[in-house]
Structure 1
């Protein structure tokens, strides 16, 4: 039995924040497909929150793994034997090519070595003013909205897109941010819908009808990115280097290889899509939880105001905001943006005492892992105090950014951005829920609050 950290300060029987009712009976392929197209989380069996592993067959053999030791084997010890699944690659390759998120083997390794310095502690810290400026702009929009209810989910998408576009293409007046944003939304809306062809494992050249719609938007997005890259090559780096400058300068220390325009573009688009969508979702869910738990909100506000009053949050304030970080980490536990990881076994193996064969789909349902009763006390409750002692959390029981060599390269960037924006908003406003507007957790490509996060904001 794994060690489960004890949590004090909250009753065991309290109202639960929004969660997904998981399936309690086996479904066939067509029913699973229909459900998956509406909400991928709905196909997770409820038993996955009570067992270390669940296996079955829906067209092909699959295994859902919640055992930390088995997950460690998949993500770290035998990572080459468990590449990302064809479904994942088919969904994302049209938008981000063979970038870090999709590439495998040697092609992935050299890109990772070239890009790793971009997200060093120093570089991420240098980008803090951009995050603070986006937080200030979000506060101004909240202020301008007055006393009416605001969809904070939409506001957070705008705030994080401000950040990622500023740190990616700073000073590029020719960069059409609105066009990029529309293209990303169009692609996510269509490509995120699980296709029956993908579930059956049909090859890429078989057309996916639901994915044809966004093709023109993707072409335009890539054209704009390519033009910006070539323009920067001609114009030179900024005084404070942004992500594009850092990637242009980056090289693999083992081979001295640098990214060409196509590789730069694919990785930039990966950072743009992942760097704003996932952080926006985390912030939207965190603000929902602040409305849900007013006591936690009061404590977070007091911490933020003690650190920087109602002024501007900076990198120097981050160490003074431990409870804000705990809130972000607990939000990522309850609502992980990438709520399911999918791999395809290449060799025979044994996971959790069960045989795995080549071609089997091995899923790590992060949503179920983070709510597994064998690993967490009162797992459906919002309890930021779980993260007071971060070392007490079993490493492979908490995976909001994945783990192993393919852990999210921008994790520190995302956490810093989320803490700064959340702290700034809470230092200035009290958020209260709007009756009848509880968001529904729905995963298509990422875990979104369906219906929005509607809150009322009152200046404090």
Structure 2
């Protein structure tokens, strides 16, 4: 249901529409859509959707959550996992959910969480060996999962239970995107992958239910993410004074893991890959982190002084945002640009489209952290890796802090080089599939000799 003058993307196939092109060549497909105009219709199986290609219209969708509500096939599948957490719930529940969960991720709590991030990346890099070849995405996902389990549960779970929780989450994260794009009946077929996913989800839910019950009975002395979720009360104007139910708390714990693990892991993994392909930028980054960190790992207080580190993260998120696209459902007839959009229309917006438009970014396919220097930053509407408006990701600062601390600590201790003959592939999930890198230990003597040779 949309305005009849919205152009249709060419190449739709019977029954499946544009789905094969989107699944197999998503980047090529999406970056071609702005050629049709500000809005373009695509078809994914039986679903017709309007893709927003213009940055200002994208901001209109993001800021107008009353008209453009969370919905669509992807969110329906995500709700199977995370229920009505703050990311997946519709607008009628979102305001309350955000008030109750926002305190846990407030910037005032970041220094404490950052200490866990530093401890975990130090522990990980201590285990690396000179010359070792790493599966970088897996290493980074293990790191972000452990950060989240430690910041979420603190000492509430014994070490073996923490390990089991991480294992469950890895299985779930590997299966969730496939399940979100597959027809629902296929997800019910008892394949090995589906059974493994269901076992992990059932075990995770059981663990969360028991942990929440224990916390209700005997709150711990310290404050971790779970404690803050359970202690929050809706005391704002119009609030009911109550906190999250056990089910809501469990839904939001899962939501935090889904939103905050693989996205940050990918950002660090892609950053390392891009730096290996641009050694002059890696040299500049190494100079920065050595000057700021000295002989230790990166800590929260170092972040204001890690300018290039933060620019590398920002540029990586431009090239490889946390997700290719998101969907909304219009709740009423509305106007989007010069087009009339009817209630019930599926709207898709894509950070990837906005970030890769040549008329919005100079040389959009190039890795250029200097574009984020204060005198040359793109307009706010041209950069939306975490969304905008009332549904903007609450974990933005948590994720950026985690990525910056990890990247700085790794760069200070290790040089990661590409493995010859390995091709890095990506698909709709924007994971760097096949990214293997060799770690080379840095030494002061070797660094001094290299600098002397260059001069």
Name the TM-score class by shorter chain: 0.7 to 0.9
Question: Which of 309, 319, 331 in structure 2 is aligned with 1:324?
Answer: 309
Moved more, 175-184 or 260-269: 175-184
- The Cα of 1:355 is off from its aligned counterpart by 2.8
Uncovered stretches (5+) of structure 1, i.e. residues with no partner? 1-23, 199-204
Residues 174-209 of structure 1, C-alpha deviation per residue, up to 9 Å, x if partnerless? 4723332333333333332254646xxxxxx99744
Question: Which of 153, 159, 183 in structure 2 is aligned with 1:169?
Answer: 153
Question: Which of 140, 146, 151 in structure 2 is aligned with 1:156?
Answer: 140
1:225 aligns with 2:212: no
1:288 aligns with 2:270: no
Residues 84-142 of structure 1, C-alpha deviation per residue, up to 9 Å, x if partnerless? 22212222112111110111223111110111121122101221110110110121122
Question: Which of 52, 56, 66 in structure 2 is aligned with 1:69?
Answer: 56
1:123 aligns with 2:109: yes
User: Could you say if the C-alpha distance between residues 51 and 305 of structure 1 is closer, same or farther in structure 2, counting changes exceeding 3 Å?
Assistant: farther
1:246 aligns with 2:228: yes
Q: How far apart in 2 are the matches of 1:288 and 1:453?
A: 9
Q: With CA pairs under 8 Å and 6+ residues apart, which has the higher RCO, 1 or 2?
A: 1
1:189 aligns with 2:174: yes
Moved more, 106-115 or 212-221: 212-221
Name the residue aligned to 1:450: 433
Q: Is the 8 A contact 1:66 1:372 kept in 2?
A: no
TM-score (norm 2): 0.87
Q: How far apart in 2 are the matches of 1:206 and 1:315?
A: 45
Q: Is the 8 A contact 1:25 1:45 kept in 2?
A: no
User: Could you say if the C-alpha distance between residues 298 and 238 of structure 1 is closer, same or farther in structure 2, counting changes exceeding 3 Å?
Assistant: farther
- The Cα of 1:361 is off from its aligned counterpart by 1.8
User: Could you say if the C-alpha distance between residues 312 and 185 of structure 1 is closer, same or farther in structure 2, counting changes exceeding 3 Å?
Assistant: closer
- The Cα of 1:363 is off from its aligned counterpart by 1.0
User: Could you say if the C-alpha distance between residues 212 and 90 of structure 1 is closer, same or farther in structure 2, counting changes exceeding 3 Å?
Assistant: farther
SS in 2 for 1:342: strand
Q: Is the 8 A contact 1:370 1:398 kept in 2?
A: yes
Aligned residue-pair number:
425
Question: Which of 344, 355, 373 in structure 2 is aligned with 1:388?
Answer: 373
Q: How far apart in 2 are the matches of 1:441 and 1:426?
A: 24
Uncovered stretches (5+) of structure 2, i.e. residues with no partner? 1-8, 444-455
TM-score (norm 1): 0.86
- The Cα of 1:422 is off from its aligned counterpart by 0.4
Q: How far apart in 2 are the matches of 1:220 and 1:420?
A: 31
Q: Is the 8 A contact 1:286 1:327 kept in 2?
A: yes
- The Cα of 1:38 is off from its aligned counterpart by 5.0
- The Cα of 1:250 is off from its aligned counterpart by 1.0
4+ runs of 1 displaced by more than 6 Å?
A: none
Name the residue aligned to 2:299: 314
Moved more, 124-133 or 185-194: 185-194
